[in-house]
Structures are given as structure tokens and as C-alpha cells.
Amino acid sequence: MAFEKPGQFFGRAARQGGHKQLFVAVIAVVALALAACTSTQPPTPGESDIREVLETAFENIEDRYAGDVTSRDLSIDGLNALADADPVLRIAVADETVSVIYDDRPLASWKSPPSRAYERWAALCANAMAVSLQESTTLSKQGREAALKRFFRGGLANLDQYTRYATPGEAGLTRARREGFGGLGITINYEEGRTSIRKVHTGTPAFKAGLQVGDTITHVGDIPLMGLSQRSVVARLRGPVHSLANLIVHRPGAPGPLKINVIRAHIILPTVETKQDGNILTIEISGFNQGTSRSLGKALADAEREMSGGLKGIVLDLRGNPGGLLDQAVAVADFFLNDGRIISTRGPHRRANQIFDASWGERVRKLPIVVLLNGRSASASEIVAAALRDSGRAVVVGASSFGKGSVQTIIRLPNGGELTLTWAHMIAPSGFSLQGHGIIPAICTSGEEERLGISRAMAEKNAAGLRFLRMHLAKRQVNRHDPNRARKLCPPSKEKPAEDLAVARFILGNLSIYNQSLKDGGPMIAEH
């Protein structure tokens, strides 16, 4: 399945220092997803381009990274990684010099700059890469961009796991997912070279043009799609905003092929889906991109109108949600809070130290809320869950979340690539760090024994069943001072069991259990 889409998530622009850069507060776990390639390839960077890329990267890493690292560290690690591509290529580092040696033959040597002289180290590395590319057949066949990617992989290897480099092509994919792209507004199935429509998103160009679920798209313009890769198909479906896509479509029951013209528009991937079950509204949020809070606001308004005041509770399903934009996570939490802390961030850079409080006033009635989490709920999801839990606004059900407590900023590089850089750590309203611990549910469903017991308690709906749930909450209360033990008792799980939704609806329908869950299922006790 694909959504004529590329890659992962984004926020605000700023200019800082001597380079034009794009900084974005991002809190996402990198998910493996098949995504579309951009329609045009960026130019291959030359030596001067590489120097500019490295200079921008080194400057920002030294200035903003949430740890101590120098341009010298990055350079030596990166050059050694580059040399690893060719068994006869070697980087020799002495006290005063850095040399490139090929087949035991010195090619060039430079005087080592001071450790934090990022401009001089960038120039040295660019020169060393140019010499290596010229001499090494292995590297020259792979090309400059591959060499630059290899350099960054080695240079960043000793930093945290979320700091990474994306090539221009990879960055184009992730930008499109964060910010949107020119497209039709369909989700496609791609099987054995056949492209069919799985979903037509309401209000999009595809919806207005009359495309339907089950349609098979055979051509875009004069180009047949059969035989193209999925990435190539998606690239054909996408294009500049306001451009025309001439489609040939086979529709079940139609006498022949249909010609349908669609004018592309700016598409932001849908991340919010709702389902009404009696007087309970389930809201599933799959990620946090630029359209998430707006979509949530519309979904809540629609539900209030359609249910005519009959809404009795909300299930906020964040299972499998890897995260996204920090400002969107804050905005989503703000929907359900009247006041108080949502999240704070801390880091060595002055701009990394921020406080985010509820400011808009609660926009839903004081309804009971249950948040569902699992082991794939991370970063932005954990911000929302922590804010609602710590404020006493929601009961958390499911499995322990991922435990990603860092914030990344995205730096646009001169070659069109991106550097994702960890620059802050998140602190929950309780003062508790999310890193490595995550959110521990009040009611855990990740253990088989727990799941069976809870299911039995809900089925019995009697004093014995309610007593089991109260015992479950009491056990959770005992371990509030020991997050590691609590996490072991409720381990992360990738599953999305039906029991989670059943538990959520059960406790929303039993206010005594709900209120006790709020009381006993509160945050871990932060150690100071």
C-alpha cells in the first residue's frame, strides 16, 4: 500500500549564523516505510558543494548537539569510514597532520586545524574526499553523494541513534510527508505491477474528479504504469501543485477504459480517523504532521454536532504512532487541557530550553478520556499521553510505550540533504524523563496473564471482576517509584489487541473504575 507519498515529519523555519537553514522541532522514530521518490534528481555535489555541506553540518553540530563533540571528532571518524570502502585507501592521523594514503602511497597531507575550527575541518575533509574519489576506483564508481553519505554515517556513528544524515533524495521524501506534496489524494495498492485505488480521500482532487475505490490506473499521460516500480508509479502520480494528471482508468463494470483528468493539489497525509461506537468516540492518530491538529479539531466538532451532546467519553488511540512534529503534539494535547504544563525540553543550547503550557482552554467538555499506547507509540505520542496522564485528564491503557525522550531539529543542507540533530530532551509535567522509560499504562494488557484476567473481569462485571481491576491498579501503584520494574511488569508490545479497546470502553462505562484508574495510574515519581 502507498499514498502517492514519500517518507516522515516537520515545523518552523529560522535563519541562524552564516547559512540559510531550516530548523524544525521533530520528535519522530524513524519507521521503515516504502515511499515515493522525487520526480527530479538533485545535481551531484562537487568539491565546493561538499565543503559547504560539511561546514553547515559541523557548525550546527558543535553549536546545537545535546552532547560534547568537535569538528575534529566528526572529521576523523567520517574520513576513516570513507576509507573503509576501499581496502587500499587509508587515512593517517598524526599529532599535527592528516594524510590520505592509497596503496601505501601518500596522496596528500594537511595540517590539523584546532579541534573546533569547523570551517577549516570542512575544507580539509572536502579536499580529502576529492583526492580519495579521484584515486579510488571503488569510490569514484559509487559517486560523490554516496561518499558523502558514507562520511556522515561514520562521522555521526558515535553520536546518539537519532542524529543522522539524509541524502537529497531521502530528504525530499521525508519533507513531503511532513509538509505535504503535489498529488491526487489517493492511497494505492500495488500488486504485481498493477496499480489500484485503495482509498479516495474526501475533499481531494481525486474525490472531486470522481475516482473510486477499486479503479485500476493503467496510464498517467502516455506512460503505462505496468512494469514500473512502486516508487516510479508514485512519482508519476505526484507532480507540481496545479499541474494536470491525465489518467486512464479501468473500472469494474465499465464498458471500457475511462479518461479522467485530475488537477493536482497540495496534499497533506491524513493522520486522524474517527469511529463512533454508541456514545463513545474513538480517535486514532497515526502520526503528527502539519495537518494533525486541524484534522483533530474538525473531527471533534463533527462528533459533537452529530452526537448532539450525547458524547460520553473519548478513546484516543496512539498505538503504532511513531511521533512527528513537536508543535502538533502540543496542539493536540491542548485540545483536552484547560491549563497546566504539557511538556518541557532541556538542552545545552539556549533555544533548546523551552516550556509548553496549555493555552487555548479545553475545547471538549470535561469528558472521561482513555489513551491507548503500545511499544510503537513514541515521542510525540508520548508527549500527548504524558500531558493527559500527569494532569489527571486521561487513563492510559495498553503496553509500555517506546521511551524516546529526545527532540531533534532538522537542518536543511546546501545540497538539499538534511541533518537531523538531537538537541534537547523531554521532561514530562511530573518532572519525569521519558527517555528509556516511556509511559507505563495504568491498566496493562501486554502480558498474557494480565490480558486474560482483565478480559475475565470485564466479562463478569461483578464484584470479583472489579476487585481484580482494583488489585491490578494497586500493583501499578506499588511500582510508581521504580520505572524499570514497572516497565518489566508491563513490557512494550507491537501488537494492537482488541482487548485494549474493550478495556477502554469498559472503564469509560464504569466511572468508579475510571476515577480509581486516574488516581492510582498516575505518573512515575520523579527522583530529584
Q: Which residues are catalytic?
A: 379, 390, 404
> What does the buried/exposed string (b/e) look like for 310-339 if buried means 16 or more CB atoms within 10 Å of the residue's CB?
ebebbbbbbbbbbbbbbbbbbbbbbbbbee
| 60 contacts 21 by C-beta, under 8 angstroms | yes
% helix / strand / coil in the chain, to the nearest 5?
A: 35, 25, 40
Closest CA to 504 of 213, 194, 177, 280: 280
Q: Grid coordinates 496510464 are at which residue?
A: 219
Cβ neighbourhood burial of 27 (10 Å; 0-12, 13-18, 19+): buried
Helix segments in 136-181, DSSP class H: 137-142, 144-155, 168-179
Phi then psi for 261, rounded to 5 degrees?
-100, 130
Secondary structure (H, E, C), 43-65? CCCCHHHHHHHHHHHHHHHHHHC
Amino acid at 192: E
Q: What is the rounded CA–CA span in Å between residue 462 and residue 465?
A: 5
Closest CA to 313 of 226, 397, 241: 397
Closest CA to 322 of 34, 27, 5: 27
Count Cα neighbours of 514 within 13 Å in the Cβ-side half-sphere. 19
Q: What is the rounded CA–CA span in Å between residue 63 and residue 58?
A: 8
Count Cα neighbours of 268 within 13 Å in the Cβ-side half-sphere. 15
| 115 contacts 72 by C-beta, under 8 angstroms | yes
| 237 contacts 261 by C-beta, under 8 angstroms | no
Cβ neighbors of 358 (< 8 A, separation 6 or more) are: 333, 334, 337, 338, 339, 340, 341, 342, 387
DSSP string of 85-113, one letter each residue: TSTTEEEEE-SSEEEEEETTEEEEEEEPP
Using DSSP, how many helices (H) and how many strands (E) does the chain show?
A: 16, 24
Q: What is the rounded CA–CA span in Å between residue 200 and residue 456?
A: 40
Phi then psi for 13, rounded to 5 degrees?
-100, 150
